[in-house]
Structure 1
Amino acid sequence: MAVRKRSHAGIYQPQIGEVVKDRANRGGEGVYMETRGGLVYLRPRQGGIEWTTLPSEIEQTGTTPELVPVYGPDRPRRTEKGLTS
Protein backbone atom coordinates (compact mmCIF):
# COMPACT_ATOMS: atom_id res chain seq x y z
CA MET A 1 0.00 0.00 0.00
CA ALA A 2 1.41 3.37 -0.99
CA VAL A 3 1.67 6.07 1.60
CA ARG A 4 0.07 9.42 0.89
CA LYS A 5 2.45 12.27 1.53
CA ARG A 6 2.45 15.95 2.25
CA SER A 7 5.48 17.85 1.08
CA HIS A 8 7.32 20.26 3.32
CA ALA A 9 5.22 23.09 1.86
CA GLY A 10 1.98 21.31 2.86
CA ILE A 11 0.90 20.49 -0.70
CA TYR A 12 -0.81 17.12 -0.96
CA GLN A 13 0.75 14.61 -3.38
CA PRO A 14 -1.82 11.95 -4.32
CA GLN A 15 -1.29 8.63 -6.04
CA ILE A 16 -2.20 8.32 -9.72
CA GLY A 17 -5.83 7.24 -9.85
CA GLU A 18 -6.70 8.65 -6.41
CA VAL A 19 -9.95 10.59 -6.04
CA VAL A 20 -9.23 14.06 -4.61
CA LYS A 21 -11.18 17.24 -3.88
CA ASP A 22 -10.50 20.32 -5.98
CA ARG A 23 -11.16 23.35 -3.76
CA ALA A 24 -10.89 25.68 -6.77
CA ASN A 25 -13.74 23.75 -8.44
CA ARG A 26 -16.25 24.29 -5.60
CA GLY A 27 -14.98 21.20 -3.80
CA GLY A 28 -15.68 18.97 -6.79
CA GLU A 29 -13.99 15.60 -6.89
CA GLY A 30 -11.73 14.31 -9.63
CA VAL A 31 -9.31 11.50 -10.33
CA TYR A 32 -5.66 12.54 -10.12
CA MET A 33 -3.88 11.88 -13.43
CA GLU A 34 -0.55 13.71 -13.16
CA THR A 35 1.24 16.94 -12.33
CA ARG A 36 2.90 18.62 -15.27
CA GLY A 37 4.16 22.14 -15.81
CA GLY A 38 3.11 23.17 -12.31
CA LEU A 39 -0.52 22.13 -12.83
CA VAL A 40 -2.48 19.12 -11.55
CA TYR A 41 -4.56 17.23 -14.11
CA LEU A 42 -7.84 15.74 -12.89
CA ARG A 43 -10.66 13.96 -14.72
CA PRO A 44 -14.21 12.94 -13.79
CA ARG A 45 -14.56 9.52 -12.08
CA GLN A 46 -16.43 7.98 -15.01
CA GLY A 47 -13.96 9.40 -17.53
CA GLY A 48 -14.26 12.49 -19.62
CA ILE A 49 -12.45 15.73 -20.24
CA GLU A 50 -9.58 16.53 -17.89
CA TRP A 51 -9.23 19.87 -16.18
CA THR A 52 -6.33 21.54 -14.45
CA THR A 53 -5.91 23.14 -11.07
CA LEU A 54 -3.06 24.28 -8.88
CA PRO A 55 -1.39 21.68 -6.63
CA SER A 56 -2.26 23.82 -3.59
CA GLU A 57 -5.99 23.45 -4.38
CA ILE A 58 -6.28 19.66 -4.04
CA GLU A 59 -6.88 17.73 -0.84
CA GLN A 60 -7.65 14.22 0.38
CA THR A 61 -11.26 13.05 0.32
CA GLY A 62 -10.97 10.84 3.39
CA THR A 63 -8.65 8.79 5.56
CA THR A 64 -8.38 5.90 3.08
CA PRO A 65 -7.58 6.71 -0.55
CA GLU A 66 -10.18 5.74 -3.11
CA LEU A 67 -8.41 4.59 -6.26
CA VAL A 68 -9.88 4.46 -9.75
CA PRO A 69 -8.15 2.47 -12.52
CA VAL A 70 -6.16 4.76 -14.80
CA TYR A 71 -4.93 3.54 -18.14
CA GLY A 72 -2.05 4.99 -20.12
CA PRO A 73 -2.74 7.66 -22.69
CA ASP A 74 -3.91 6.46 -26.08
CA ARG A 75 -2.69 9.36 -28.17
CA PRO A 76 -1.59 9.25 -31.79
CA ARG A 77 2.18 9.48 -32.22
CA ARG A 78 3.69 12.10 -34.49
CA THR A 79 6.58 11.41 -36.81
CA GLU A 80 8.28 13.54 -39.40
CA LYS A 81 5.93 12.05 -42.03
CA GLY A 82 2.71 12.60 -40.07
CA LEU A 83 0.55 10.63 -37.66
CA THR A 84 1.07 6.96 -36.86
CA SER A 85 -0.77 4.68 -34.49
Structure 2
Amino acid sequence: MTLAGSAAPVPYEVQWAATSNQSSGSALAANTTIGGFADGLVDRTCTLVNTTSASLIVILRSAALSSATAGSYSGTPTLVLAAQ
Protein backbone atom coordinates (compact mmCIF):
# COMPACT_ATOMS: atom_id res chain seq x y z
CA MET A 1 0.00 0.00 0.00
CA THR A 2 1.32 3.40 -0.86
CA LEU A 3 0.55 7.08 -0.55
CA ALA A 4 0.77 8.92 -3.87
CA GLY A 5 2.49 12.26 -3.91
CA SER A 6 4.53 14.74 -5.87
CA ALA A 7 7.50 12.33 -6.05
CA ALA A 8 7.96 8.61 -5.41
CA PRO A 9 5.09 6.88 -3.57
CA VAL A 10 5.50 6.35 0.19
CA PRO A 11 4.71 2.84 1.43
CA TYR A 12 2.63 2.26 4.53
CA GLU A 13 1.37 -0.75 6.47
CA VAL A 14 -2.04 -1.51 7.92
CA GLN A 15 -2.65 -3.78 10.89
CA TRP A 16 -5.81 -4.97 12.67
CA ALA A 17 -6.17 -5.72 16.39
CA ALA A 18 -9.35 -7.13 17.93
CA THR A 19 -9.15 -4.80 20.94
CA SER A 20 -9.16 -1.02 21.18
CA ASN A 21 -6.15 1.25 21.77
CA GLN A 22 -3.54 -1.10 20.29
CA SER A 23 -0.26 -0.07 18.63
CA SER A 24 0.28 -3.34 16.75
CA GLY A 25 -1.81 -6.16 15.36
CA SER A 26 -2.18 -8.62 12.49
CA ALA A 27 -0.76 -7.34 9.21
CA LEU A 28 -3.24 -6.69 6.40
CA ALA A 29 -2.10 -6.87 2.77
CA ALA A 30 -3.52 -5.03 -0.23
CA ASN A 31 -6.06 -6.89 -2.37
CA THR A 32 -6.23 -9.94 -0.12
CA THR A 33 -8.77 -11.39 2.27
CA ILE A 34 -8.07 -12.61 5.75
CA GLY A 35 -10.43 -14.40 8.07
CA GLY A 36 -10.60 -15.62 11.62
CA PHE A 37 -11.11 -12.31 13.37
CA ALA A 38 -13.80 -12.58 16.01
CA ASP A 39 -14.48 -10.56 19.11
CA GLY A 40 -18.18 -10.68 19.91
CA LEU A 41 -18.84 -7.31 18.31
CA VAL A 42 -22.26 -8.40 17.00
CA ASP A 43 -24.71 -10.53 18.95
CA ARG A 44 -26.96 -13.36 17.64
CA THR A 45 -29.56 -10.89 16.35
CA CYS A 46 -26.92 -8.93 14.42
CA THR A 47 -27.16 -6.05 16.87
CA LEU A 48 -24.03 -3.99 17.34
CA VAL A 49 -22.99 -4.43 20.97
CA ASN A 50 -19.59 -2.84 21.26
CA THR A 51 -18.42 -0.01 19.02
CA THR A 52 -14.94 0.34 20.54
CA SER A 53 -13.61 -3.19 20.33
CA ALA A 54 -10.98 -3.02 17.58
CA SER A 55 -8.01 -1.03 16.31
CA LEU A 56 -7.05 -0.27 12.72
CA ILE A 57 -3.36 0.68 12.85
CA VAL A 58 -1.64 2.59 10.01
CA ILE A 59 2.17 2.57 10.10
CA LEU A 60 4.55 4.81 8.19
CA ARG A 61 8.07 3.46 8.79
CA SER A 62 10.86 5.95 9.48
CA ALA A 63 12.90 4.75 6.47
CA ALA A 64 9.99 5.53 4.14
CA LEU A 65 9.40 8.93 5.73
CA SER A 66 13.05 9.95 5.71
CA SER A 67 13.36 9.22 1.99
CA ALA A 68 10.13 11.04 1.05
CA THR A 69 10.39 14.47 -0.52
CA ALA A 70 8.42 17.41 0.85
CA GLY A 71 4.93 17.79 -0.59
CA SER A 72 1.40 16.54 -0.34
CA TYR A 73 0.60 12.82 -0.30
CA SER A 74 -2.74 11.05 -0.31
CA GLY A 75 -4.21 7.59 -0.37
CA THR A 76 -7.45 5.84 0.44
CA PRO A 77 -7.42 2.43 2.12
CA THR A 78 -10.62 0.44 1.71
CA LEU A 79 -11.54 -2.04 4.40
CA VAL A 80 -14.39 -4.47 3.70
CA LEU A 81 -15.92 -6.38 6.61
CA ALA A 82 -18.08 -9.43 6.00
CA ALA A 83 -19.65 -12.11 8.15
CA GLN A 84 -18.04 -15.53 8.01
Same fold (TM over 0.5): no
TM-score by length of 2: 0.27
TM-score (norm 1): 0.27
Q: Which has the higher strand share?
A: 1
Q: Which has the larger radius of gyration?
A: 2
Which structure has the higher relative contact order (CA within 8 Å, separation 6+)? 2
